Amino acid sequence: MGNDATLSEKILAAKAGRDRVMPGDYLLLKVDVALANDITAPMAIKEFKKAGGTRVFDPQQIVLVPDHFVPNKDIKSAEQAKMMREFAEEQGITKYFEVGRMGIEHVILPEKGLVKSGDLVVGADSHTCTYGALGAFAAGMGSSDLAGVYLTGKAWFRVPESIKIDILGKFKPYVSGKDLILKLISLLGVNGANYMALEFSGPGIAGISMDGRLTMANMAVEAGAKAGIFPVDEQTAAYEAERHIRVEKTGPDPNATYCKTLSIDLDELNPQVAYPFLPSNGRDIQEAEKDNIRIRQAVIGSCTNGRMEDLREAACILKGNKVHPRVRCIVIPGSQHIFRQALKEGLIETFIDAECAVSTPTCGPCLGGHMGVLARGERAVSTTNRNFVGRMGHMESEVYLSSPAIAAASAICGTICHPDSIRTQGEK
């Protein structure tokens, strides 16, 4: 019983070649994947060269994805992408994904099978924790730390304590992984899991799709967590098998020690809306509807909610409806593959018929970069992951976080609303 370990501890122990590691242990470990984007890679490249680096530790383990300010929005962003492109050519890094072949980094790495269960993944982006959905230990780091990985192939880790999230029941209609993670962040607070691992468990996870799990793991960092991780189960194995990857089912030991346990019953969970200016300001949609929040923009996409399940959910609600005349609705597929699939299924036509703008894959509006920057006083409902002051544009703009279902319904209503409210309006 004393040797039972959490899933995070098991992965880190395996990477360290030990039978057991304990929270607080410091480990210097070889990484399996090192990721950077067009904002963070240039800084890592500069530090790598400043330290005397000439050749990266292994070009096959480095992934470079220009996705934040691409297609390039201005000269500065073009220069950043150029530095990244030239570094990939110089170092023989083949996992560099150019515009037209790329997608949002945390969408395409799982999609292309570049990360897998049991991997140790680092990335110069805080949402690298996304890959915990596959049962990998994945964590963000700074660009200077990534430069050290480029030099050595290793990084220091402190074994985190773990919080067990026991999930019960089944989702109600229009409730998804985004609502669950927003609810969890509202319970924990933005600092409630600082440098801890959120480990999702319980009978309820069987009903959470892989797209839903990726959404949840993606936002673990919004509670301060180092990682958000799911066990490797039948669903994970099926997802990996589609990418010709064989994995063994694994999870935490039965008597693993957690610093805290939280239970959430999906039967009682309502759609959530996180009010400005923190992802932890989650409230039930019923409360948001009473507040009559008028919006100017709806964004459906990002590394959090730009996958096929998200686009299908939004299209189902938008089909046969029009975006409110006061609102601009921007839909961003997370990858070229998703864009193509959405075309095949007729979703893109649905979006255009509803008078949405459909973009090439990009992080764009999520960080106030381009493709949807807000002006002073404007409000947006967005399926992205952060709603800090000025996150999507002007310091006096506001962002409300939601699921694709709520964002699509709100785009039609002109105010933040539940999808059932659209039917009610139509019946009147």
Q: Is the pLDDT of residue 143 over 80?
A: yes
177-188 and 210-218 are packed helices; what angle lies between their axes, rounded to 10 degrees? 30
Cis before residue 230, ω within 30 degrees of 0? no
User: What tokens does 65 get?
Assistant: 């994805």
Nearest to 191 by CA among 228, 222, 224: 224
DSSP structure string for 25-59: -EEEEE-SEEEEETTTHHHHHHHHHHTT--S-S-G
pLDDT, mean of residues 20-36? 97
pLDDT, mean of residues 145-167? 97
Q: Could you report the per-residue pLDDT of 313-331, keeping only the tens digit for each?
A: 999 999 999 999 999 999 9
- Mean pLDDT estimate for the chain: 95
CATH 3.30.499.10-classified regions of the chain: 7-266, 273-427
Fold for 7-266, please state it: Aconitase; domain 3 (3.30.499)
Q: Could you report the per-residue pLDDT of 187-238, keeping only the tens digit for each?
A: 999 999 999 999 999 999 999 999 999 999 999 999 999 999 999 999 999 9
Q: What pTM does this model have?
A: 0.94
Beta carbons within 10 angstroms of residue 52's beta carbon: 7
Residue 194 half-sphere exposure toward CB, CA atoms < 13 A:
4
Architecture of the 273-427 domain = 2-Layer Sandwich (3.30)
Q: Could you report the per-residue pLDDT of 275-311, keeping only the tens digit for each?
A: 999 999 999 999 999 999 999 999 999 999 999 999 9
Q: Is the pLDDT of residue 118 over 50?
A: yes
User: What tokens does 126 get?
Assistant: 């805080």
Residue-level pLDDT at 423 = 65
